[in-house]
Amino acid sequence: MITPPKNRLRLAAALGILVATSYSGAASAACVYKIDNEWNSGATGTITITNSTATPINGWSVNWQYNTNRLTGSWNAKLTGSNPYTATDMGWNGTLQPGQATSFGFQLNKNGGALEQPTLSGSVCGGAGSSASAMSSRSSTPSSIASSSRSSTVSSSASSISNCVQQCNWYGTVYPLCVTTTSGWGYENNRSCISRNTCTSQPSPYGVTACANSSSVVSSSVSSSRSSTPSSISSVVSSSRSSTPSSISSSISSSRSSTPSSISSSSRSSVPAGAVFRVDTTGNITKNGTVFPVRCGNWFGLEGQHEPKNAANNPDGAPMELYVGNMWWANTGRTIQQTMNEIKAQGINVIRLPIAPQTLDPNNPQGRGDIQAGGVLKNHASVRQTNARQAMEDFIKLADQNNLEVIVDIHSCSNYVGWRAGRLDAKPPYADANRESYDFKREGYSCAPVSGAGVVVHEYNEAKWLANLREIAGLSAQLGVDNIIGIDIFNEPWDYTWAEWKALSDKAYQAISAVNPNVLIFVEGVSATAGGVKIPHGSEDLNPNWGENMYGARANPLNIPKDRLVLSPHTYGPSVFVQKQFMDPTQVNCTELEGDEAGNSDCNIVINKAKLSVGWDEHFGYLRDQGFAMVVGEFGGNMDWPAKGSVADRSRWSHITTNVDQQWQQAFVSYMKEKKIQACYWSINPESGDTGGWYLHSHDPDSNPSGWGTWLNFDARKTTLLKDLWGN
């Protein structure tokens, strides 16, 4: 298999806290006040309302007051007052059937005092005078729970449900149930349906055959034994696990049927995980109020790899499988845990994880099965996933146990289209349509309905995208982790104008915040053109890469709170695309050339940091000067380019004999240090055809073509580059 180059252009925390006493009136609901997470200056918590009567509740309100503590925010309820406070339903969560529950969240500042447990009153809380006594076992620094050292007992009232309604109500908007997934948040027959264990899907993505065990959890008793060292977890790979392969340790996989679905569905539908990620007034990202320096790398594969059309197995396929370092069944012994240990030792603390909408579907055939037995997966059996969804979930949980944060990135509208998308409803022709000697053009796939024979449509649109964002926002609570720092809402939206992309970004913020207000919103830029129309980006002599252009935010800023927004431009050097600003100014005939045309004209490349910095400032740097948080989502490259590049590039650019891409990377790191910009390196794994990876690769297209997927040690030059960026 040959992966083509990129185109150019807690619940875990909550389980450690004893729940407050509940209180109920004769004809009212039961209300529970609970602290989910506490740190030195504040806390987050939830208030859960359960209809313990025999008749529906239509509309609710809850009142409470503090002595010293004060609220700083809330979600999933309309909050009025400034102590005392009143929370009322938002309409979509106002009707509670008998036995059904809903929750809303809050964040508070302790104001120098101790954490308080207020009395709740209101229309559904048994009247004034009800009191709560909350006891908690908390640490000042929240931590994740290691699955291998956790035991839990959960009691629930389960029921068998038939005639399940084939749709989910996503916060007031009705979508077909489990569109490309079986883990949608919502309700079926007025019952919670939030994990794939609550619904059984038909082969058709729009139907269900049963809704077994889809009921509210009435009570839970959880005992935990936490390891003080999250990294001391069970091994990812065991040689005896070939009968039940998984990409993550068997202790995680074997418990997945009871975790997370056994935890209260009704409360989890609006309970964020423990960690609170924010941006402070200086543009620094914080976790639970403490500045969190982002040292990040991309680890790709689950968004879809590309098979050649003449592949012996899965021709023209797009398997969703993380590269782990032992592809083509080579038993190198490398595991995901080993790689996490190694990158942590080098300084990485965040992983950007690209996925596609199809990754969220455990039944998608491009995420399942040994390719030697009719499936599509090539990793050795010791680390082979069961399905793409399970691989994603297990990866996030294992990263959490290793104190590694994760940015989940929707990388395309389809695993078959990949980075070419540029928009949610992308359709051919794509940017690679006329690319020379290239076998992965993907002209036979579309994310928009198209006419004509021979095109497979994987329809994607705004509604499905927003549903995916809500689903990803719910992963923290669903998986019991606190390491999802944010969501990169769509990769390189280069085929939108800034105004179009701004409108979509604003909707994404609203969708994510309705489910989890504690994660950050990562927003990329656009490009220089959209639909053939030029997009303003400053000087016409300095082109932006795909995802780099945020020039339009000057006059039309995003409607996303500054403390929730992370701007995430992408930019690359000549190994990905030769821009006209790289041309040697002494070659007059080359000044307006770029790409293959420049190579065919024997143009030289000159990396001039002063010149490039003007473009970076115009495209995105000015926003960092204004105090916005900024994490470059992708930068990197092949430091040996054009050597070790594609056959076509080695031929076209053979006159380039200096390390021009390494020079570009060094110039950009110097610029980011000056601006205090953080970044995610592309990529950790080495299978990116045009950039290579931080790990070196045994593959060589001439001397060792069979070495594809087998990793070597770190590239020392890239290690030096990254440690320079991180300041160590």
Looking up residue 122, the CATH number of its domain turns out to be: 2.60.40.290
Which tens digit of pLDDT belongs to each residue from 192-236? 333 333 333 323 222 223 233 322 222 222 222 323 333 322 222
Same domain flag for 211 and 358: no
pLDDT at residue 673 is higher than 60: yes
**Residues 315 and 369 both lie in one domain:** yes
Averaged pLDDT for residues 322-333: 86
Residue 331's pLDDT is 84
Range among 39-53, 157-171, 172-186, 330-344 with highest mean pLDDT value: 330-344
Reading the block at residue 566, the tokens are: 């992370």
CB atoms within 10 A of CB 90: 17
Residue predicted with more confidence, 143 or 365: 365
Instruction: Return d(Cα 386, Cα 364) in angstroms, integer.
Output: 11
Give residue 139's pLDDT.
32
- Does residue 359 belong to any structural domain of this protein? yes
Q: How confident is the model at residue 45 (pLDDT cuts 50, 70, 90)?
A: confident
Helix (H, G, I), strand (E, B) or coil at 95: strand
What share of the chain has pLDDT > 70, as a percent?
76
Q: What is the dihedral of CA 315, 319, 325, 331, to 10 degrees?
A: -70
In a domain, 591, yes or no: yes
pLDDT tier for residue 463 given thresholds of 50, 70 and 90: very high
What pLDDT is recorded for position 274?
A: 65
Region 382-395 average pLDDT: 96
Q: Which DSSP state fits 370? A: B
Q: 234 in a domain, yes or no? A: no
Question: Residue 584: helix, strand or coil by DSSP?
Answer: coil
User: What pLDDT score was predicted for residue 708?
Assistant: 79
- For residues 594 and 574, what is the distance between their CA atoms, to the nearest angstrom? 10
Please report, to the nearest 10 degrees, the dihedral formed by the alpha carbons of residues 337, 342, 347, 348 taken in order.
-40
634 has catalytic annotation? yes
Residue 377 gets which letter from DSSP?
A: B
pLDDT digits over 106-132, tens only?
Answer: 888 899 999 999 999 988 886 432 334
Measured at the CA of 273, the angle between CA 184 and CA 28, to 5 degrees, comes to 80
Pair (352, 410) in one structural domain: yes
Number of domains in the chain: 3
Of the residues 79, 103, 137, which one is the last residue of a structural domain? 137
> Whose structure tokens read 């359960």?
50
Mean per-residue pLDDT of the chain: 79
- DSSP codes of every residue in 430-482: -TTTT-TT-S---TTEESS---STT-EE----HHHHHHHHHHHHTHHHHHT-S
Chosen domain end from 191, 219, 247: 219
Mean pLDDT of the 695-703 span? 84
**Range of 713's domain?**
279-726
Structure-block tokens of residue 493? 């939206």
pTM: 0.68
Distance (Å, whole) CA 186 – CA 592: 54
Half-sphere exposure in the Cβ direction for 695 (13 Å, CA): 26
Q: CATH no. for residue 296?
A: 3.20.20.80
Q: What's residue 129's pLDDT? A: 29
Residues 6+ away with beta carbon under 8 Å from 112? 68
**Tokens 């923290």 sit at which residue?**
476
In a domain, 293, yes or no: yes
Examine residue 226 and state whether it is found in any structural domain, yes or no: no
For position 42, what pLDDT does the model report? 84
Structure-model confidence comparison of residues 721 and 439, the more confident one: 721
588 and 514 co-located in one domain = yes
Residues 177 and 129 in one domain: no
Q: What are the tokens at 372?
A: 């030697």
Residue ranges of E strands in 474-615: 484-488, 520-523, 529-530, 533-534, 565-567
Query: Is the per-residue pLDDT at 258 higher than 70?
Result: no
Q: Is the pLDDT of residue 546 over 50?
A: yes
| Same-domain status, 90 and 187 | no
Mean pLDDT of 480-484: 96
Structure tokens at 373: 């037995």
Does 106 map to a domain?
yes
Task: Flag whether pLDDT at 268 surpasses 60.
Answer: no
Task: DSSP for 146-169, please give it.
Answer: PGGGB--EEE----EE-S--SEEE
Q: Pick the catalytic residue: 321, 492, 594, 618?
A: 492
Q: Assess whether 208 and 91 both reside in one domain.
A: no
Q: Could you tell me if 99 and 200 lie in one domain? A: no
> In degrees, to the nearest 5, what angle opens at C-alpha 366 toward C-alphas 268 and 259?
25
Distance CA 631, CA 547 (A): 12
Tokens matching residue 363: 């039944």
**492: annotated active-site residue:** yes
Active-site residue, selected from the candidate residues 321, 405, 634, 687: 634
Give the tokens for residue 326.
């032992």
The answer on 284 and 174 residing in a single domain is no
Q: Which residue, chain included where needed, has tokens 């076209």?
A: 652
Give a yes or no: residue 241 inside a domain: no
Distances (CA, A) of 593 to 392, 577, 588, 604: 42, 12, 10, 11
Instruction: Please compute the mean of the pLDDT values over residues 311-328 and round it to a whole number.
Output: 92
Provide the pLDDT for residue 167.
Answer: 35
Same domain, yes or no: 349 and 466: yes
CA atoms within 13 A on the CB side of 309: 7
What average pLDDT does this structure show over 251-257?
A: 30
Same domain, yes or no: 109 and 202: no
Checking if the pLDDT of 342 tops 50, the result is: yes
Among candidate residues 86, 106, 137, the one where a domain is terminated: 137
The two beta strands, 520-523 and 484-488, are: parallel
4 within some domain: no
Which ranges of 517-621 does DSSP label H, i.e. alpha helix?
595-600, 609-616
**Predicted confidence band at 187 (pLDDT cuts at 50, 70, 90)?**
very low
Q: 176 preceded by cis ω (within 30°)?
A: no
What torsion, rounded to 10 degrees, do the Cα atoms 380, 381, 385, 387 define?
110
pLDDT value, residue 323: 95
Please check whether residues 124 and 194 belong to one and the same domain: no
